[in-house]
Amino acid sequence: MDTILKAENIWKTYGSSSVKVNALNGIDLSFAKGRFYSVIGRSGSGKSTLLYVLSGLEKPTRGNVFFEGKDLSEYPDGQMAVFRRRHMGFVFQQYNLMEEYNVLENICMPLKLDQRKPDSGFLHTVLETLGLSDKQKKYAPELSGGEQQRVAIARSILSKPKIIFADEPTGNLDKKTALETLELLIGSAKKFGQTLIIVTHDLEVARMSEAVITLEDGRVVK
Ligand SMILES: Nc1ncnc2c1ncn2[C@@H]1O[C@H](COP(=O)(O)OP(=O)(O)O)[C@@H](O)[C@H]1O
Ligand SMILES: [Mg+2]
């Protein structure tokens, strides 16, 4: 197995001495390059926390996360943000689009922050794949929820991250739109060889994945 991401004995405790929440309790996981994983479990079982720790958005209280063999804790905070922008993509339930920028500008923003320009052929492919070619000049409020989420997906794909983290990415969409949007996300991640980790409570989505990680009280149970 060609491992891209590895979590070793991860613990995450929120809060101070008086009120503590043990969100993750000793997690060991390995993720292979180019595969599609789903993370399921009840509300409060630690799914979002796991995603934040795996992506370096949150530091584990104990344990280590390795991205292509390198320990994330070795990156100073400032470098971590840049590292994330270059190698990781994120799709959240909230689309987090910037309303004062149009679709094209939103999609290109992470690259722009790095003074990089999108490869125009690849940009075209991503826009086509996600059905956004004729929406480039539109602004977020002019788009449906499904379209906005596709913009967020396009944005996460365009910088060619090696791994994409999605936290209940279609939770705000109706069933049909949710499924279509997920199929696009899954299809494009496969097409571009990206590892995909999706948090979902939809068992249908979990069934589409190549491996299911089930969390219960901050532990992997299956
Ligand atoms: N920033 C935080 N501060 C304190 N407790 C938190 C914080 N984030 C999450 N938690 C707690 O950690 C546990 C796991 O939360 P979370 O990872 O959001 O679960 P899930 O995504 O599966 O619903 C919950 O008990 C939650 O209340
Ligand atoms: Mg959550």
200-54-181 Cα angle (round to 5): 35
pLDDT score at 45: 96
pLDDT score at 159: 84
Q: Average pLDDT of 78-100?
A: 88
Over the stretch 40-53, which tens digit does the pLDDT of each residue have? 999 999 999 999 99
More confident residue, 19 or 10: 10
CA 154/CA 186 separation, integer angstroms? 12
Q: Domains in the chain, start-ordered, CATH in brackets? A: 3-220 (3.40.50.300)
Q: Which residue, judged by its Cα, is nearest atom 17 of ligand 1?
A: 46
Calculate how far, in angstroms, residue 51's C-alpha sits from the geometric centre of ligand 1: 11
Q: Average pLDDT of 15-39?
A: 94
Calculate the average pLDDT of the chain.
Answer: 92
Q: Which residue, judged by its Cα, is nearest atom 7 of ligand 1?
A: 14
Q: What percent of the chain has pLDDT over 90?
A: 63
Calculate how far, in angstroms, residue 47's C-alpha sits from the geometric centre of ligand 1: 8
Q: Average pLDDT of 100-109?
A: 95
pLDDT score at 136: 97
* Residue 17 clears pLDDT 80, i.e. is over it: no
Give one word for 80, left, alpha or beta, with left for phi > 0 and alpha for psi -120 to 50: alpha
Q: Which residue, judged by its Cα, is nearest atom 24 of ligand 1?
A: 44
CA 29/CA 40 separation, integer angstroms? 14
Pocket-testing residue among 21, 22, 25, ligand 1, by greatest number of atoms within 8 A of Cβ? 21
pLDDT score at 94: 79
CA 43/CA 100 separation, integer angstroms? 33
pLDDT score at 216: 97
Total number of residues shown for the chain = 222
pLDDT score at 160: 85
